[in-house]
Amino acid sequence: MKKTLIVIAALAALVSCKSLKDEWDPVFTVGDNEPAWFVPASREDILAKAGIEEFTTIAELKTLYKQAPVVITGNKWIEGQVTTSDKSGNIYNELYIQDKTGAIDLKLGRASLYNEYKVGQWVYVKCDGLTLGSYSGQPQLGFAADETSTNEYETSYITLQSLINEHVFRGFEAEPLKPLEVTPDAIKAACNEGFKNELWGKLVKVSGLTYGNEIFALFYPNSNMPHKSGNPENRVFLSDNGTWGVDTWACSKAAYIGYLENGNWDEAEVGSGATRYGSILGRPADYLEGETLNKFGSDMLLTYKEIMIKYAQANYISHYFKLTDDVSVQVRTSGYAKFCDSKLDSRILNGATVEITGIMTNYNGAAQMTLIDDPSESVVIF
């Protein structure tokens, strides 16, 4: 009797383990029981396993967007070659892929993606359940937006590896795509068409640029507080007034504090759009009242400059480069990039013509480029 009970228990354990395995198996497998996300698969194998005759193009996918984020339903898959690496840190927690019709930003919330997704490698994405959204006009594919007071995105990151495994599948490595050489007319057309233009997210090369002696930067004095466009009391812009003393591609936390302590930004105004309160030398208590003021707690008696130093973090900086009299490009660099505090070459500051390679993105109807590598590789000076 005792032996019989042991056998029954063992069989029950095997069934239980199999049930757990079935529950957590990825969408399908390739090869000898290897998960599909782990072993590179051919295009034909993905089509067969997915049960589709052809992939949806990136251009077709983008037509589903109707001025608001949309959850993709049905057995829709896209394919594309990887065009970015997060090794330098200027692009992180995301992956750009490109097909013949366009490109898109995959919001994979993980670091060191370059170890798993090589530049040029084919990637296949199961879109069912993902959200297609826009950030200031830039197409992105991820999960539904986090409902937080600080989130301005229409999508959120796919962070859990098990969920990435269900949606993103690696193909074989191939020759990296060559950057598309774009003209001023192509940039103007993209800006005019907006979200659906095929240029956004593509790897491009722009020649004939000269430095515009102007930067754009948006800071949140306390990034833990609401800082959407409807919260002008917690936003500070550096724009429309030269370079503000910034001669580095971006700024690390230490450089950010340094610029503040040196007084470079003392004339910067708190506010957003038409709502301006005064310089960062003022206090929230000087500018605000009621519930808006109370959000700052004890910080209401500090100057905005002091608040910015207290909650300092690395920040993006966009440098304007001029292509023609009516076409400019913002070159965007992250404060977390390895080269963030590298100074712009003096030849650039003195008006030399440059050629820049990067990812072309849409920022509120303006052309923006994100460097894909160190400026020594991405920026050619003539």
Would you give per-residue pLDDT tens digits along the chain (382 residues)?
444 444 444 444 444 343 333 333 334 444 444 454 567 999 999 999 999 999 999 999 999 999 999 999 999 999 999 999 999 999 989 999 999 999 999 999 999 999 999 999 999 999 999 999 999 999 999 999 987 666 778 999 999 999 999 999 999 999 999 999 999 999 999 999 999 999 999 999 999 999 999 999 999 999 999 999 899 999 999 987 799 999 999 999 999 999 999 999 999 999 998 999 999 999 999 999 999 999 999 999 999 999 999 999 999 999 999 999 999 999 999 999 999 999 999 999 999 999 999 999 999 999 999 999 999 999 999 9
Element spanning 170, H or E: strand 168-170
CATH architecture of 25-170: Beta Barrel (2.40)
Type of residue at 106: L
Cα–Cα distance for residue pair 213/322, rounded to 1 Å: 9
pTM value is 0.87
Structure tokens at 365: 């109807």
Domain(s) labelled CATH 2.40.50.140 in the chain stretch across: 25-170
Please give the full DSSP string across 106-149, using - where no structure is assigned: E-B--S-GGGTS-TT-EEEEE-TT-EEEEETTEEEEEEEPP--T
Looking at residue 26, its pLDDT comes to 39
Element spanning 271, H or E: strand 269-272
